[in-house]
Amino acid sequence: MQSSELLAVVLEALDDGKAKDVKVIDVRAKTSVTDYMVIASGTSERHVKSLADQVVEKAKEHDVPPLGVEGQNVGEWVLVDLGDAIVHVMKPQIREFYQLEKFWQGDYRTEGVAAAG
C-alpha cells in the first residue's frame, strides 16, 4: 500500500471516530522515519484510546499491522506507528503543551535561544 493510500485509511478512521482538529504534516523532506505525521485530538481519555483503536483496526483491515502502539494504558497521548504514517492522538491540553505541529512544520521556537546566523 502506498503511503498516500495509508494516509487516506487513517483519515477515514479518525473521521469515523469524530476526531477533532486533525492535521496532516508531510515530513518526507525532514525525516526518513515516516512520510506523514497525523495529529488529532480526542475529547477525553476514552475518546483518545477509541480513536487509536479505530486507526489500528482500519489499518489491519488493509493488511497494515501497526509497528507499535504507545500510550494506550494512560490515554492522554497515544502514538500509532504504521510505518509510512505515524498517528498521534492526544487530549487537547497535551497537544497544546507539546506543540508537535509547530515542531514538524518548522515553526518551533525555543525562547531564549538566539538564531544562528
The whole-angstrom separation of Cα 8 and Cα 30 is 21
Asked if residue 3 has pLDDT above 60, the reply is yes
Q: pLDDT tens digit string along 97-114?
A: 998 888 776 544 444 444
Grid cell in block for residue 26: 508531510
| Pick from 44, 9, 43: nearest CA to 24 | 9
Q: pLDDT tens digit string along 25-76?
A: 999 988 889 999 999 999 999 999 999 999 999 999 999 999 999 999 988 9
**pTM reported for the whole predicted model:** 0.86
Residue 1: predicted pLDDT: 87
Domain ranges of the chain: 3-105
Place of cell 473521521: 15
- Classify domain 3-105 at the CATH topology level: Beta Polymerase; domain 2 (3.30.460)
- DSSP class of residue 34? -
